[in-house]
Structure 1
Amino acid sequence: MTAAALAFQQFSSPGDIDSPLRRALVECWVEVTNAGGAAGFPFPPVDVSTVTPSLDRLVDLLSPDTSRLLTATVNGELAGWLNVRRDCFELIAHWGTVHHVQTRTAVRGRGVGRALMQEVRRVARDEMGLEQLRLAARGGVGLEGFYGRLGWKEVGRWPGALRLAAGDDRDEALMILAPL
């Protein structure tokens, strides 16, 4: 992927998200989930009516200080997105949590996810003033290796925390990126 083809944009206010972007985010979330992605909906298939209320809640919470949505586009089309949040409570306001990391299936393996994670690191450090990032990743699907190659460290696990189906319990891997 050429640097010219890949672009990032961040959104920090509900009013920043127009209808076409909202539709693209929902479509991406549906696609990623139905392809087996660990993006917040454990029981595919999902559809637009399932995903839209969750996106609406996420967008409603956008704020420059506490929650930002970061998108990656390729040639002007949404290729992936994520959400980074911080808690205002003084004891933990120095770290943030990354949620809903996802890339469109058509661009997988082309470096979009890696670039998106590098950009969220920069945004968190340089613009939000965070010192570390955390995330929880579904075990058993290779995410620990993906994040590990980007400098994230696994710091713990919740064994069997996620029940995807009867007899299909997965660990949740707790990961940290520090310092930023």
Structure 2
Amino acid sequence: MTSAGPTLTQLADPSDVTTDVRQALTACWVEVTNAGGAAGFPFPPVEIADVMPFLDAIIKTLNPATSRLLVAEYDGQLAGWLNLRRDPGPLTSHWGTIHHLQARTTLQGRGLGTALMNEARRVARDEMDLEQLHLAARGGTGLEAFYTGLGWKEVGRWPNALRLAGGQDRDEVLMLLMPL
């Protein structure tokens, strides 16, 4: 890894996602999930075939106005990513949601998540004209402290809403970033 920060790019159209990028996004998601990350799959281990349909569904919805992938790279290699979405409905089109923030396990702790979240905030405010961001985080993993450190506030909690492997239940923590 270089001492410089990550290179951040946006993918805002399905045609922006090359075969190599699709494979790298999938590999990252598998790696993070199988290491115990809160990346959307509650029962690891997962394989590429498990993850690919979910990634393809995200890619299919990419649109500059409503859905973007933000990708972080080190030395030309995918290091992490997230999905920033806006609901197109008129009641909620002023806010967006963050989904699937993840960083390669070998690069965690080096500011990737912070860089991606700061870029998501900038893109939401400056490019998508959003006023607030929402996310749901898996409780009990330290994520609340991470997001709070970036200016997010906990606005609600669904106790034992998430059932993980081995019957372990976790709260789903609802968080808000406003103003952007």
Q: Is the shorter-chain TM-score for this pair beyond 0.5, marking a shared fold?
A: yes
Task: Find the counterpart in structure 2 of residue 86 from structure 1.
Answer: 86
In 1, Cα distance between equivalents of 2:110 and 2:96: 27
Q: Normalising by structure 2, what TM-score? A: 0.97
Deviation at 1:6, TM superposition (A): 1.3
Structure 2 counterpart SS, 1:52: helix
Task: Find the counterpart in structure 1 of residue 111 from structure 2.
Answer: 111
Worse-matched range after superposition: 5-14 or 155-164: 5-14
Mapping for residues 126-145 of structure 1, pairs under 5 Å: 126-145=126-145
What is the letter of the counterpart of residue 65 of structure 2?
D
Structure 1 counterpart SS, 2:164: strand
Q: Which runs of 5+ in 2 are unaligned?
A: none
In 2, Cα distance between equivalents of 1:119 and 1:19: 24
Number of aligned residue pairs: give it: 180
Q: Which runs of 5+ in 1 are unaligned?
A: none
Task: Find the counterpart in structure 1 of residue 42 from structure 2.
Answer: 42
Mapping for residues 27-66 of structure 1, pairs under 5 Å: 27-66=27-66
Q: Normalising by structure 1, what TM-score? A: 0.97
Task: Find the counterpart in structure 1 of residue 102 from structure 2.
Answer: 102
Does residue 8 of structure 2 align to residue 24 of structure 1? no
What is the letter of the counterpart of residue 146 of structure 2?
F
In 1, Cα distance between equivalents of 2:120 and 2:157: 23
User: Which structure 1 residue ranges, 4+ long, deviate > 3 Å from structure 2?
Assistant: 1-5
8 Å contact from structure 2 (residues 154, 174) kept in 1: yes
What is the letter of the counterpart of residue 126 of structure 1?
D
Deviation at 1:75, TM superposition (A): 1.2
Q: Deviations over 1:103-128 (max 9, x none)?
A: 00111111111111101100110000
Task: Find the counterpart in structure 2 of residue 77 from structure 1.
Answer: 77
Percent identity of the aligned residues?
Answer: 64
Deviation at 1:88, TM superposition (A): 1.0
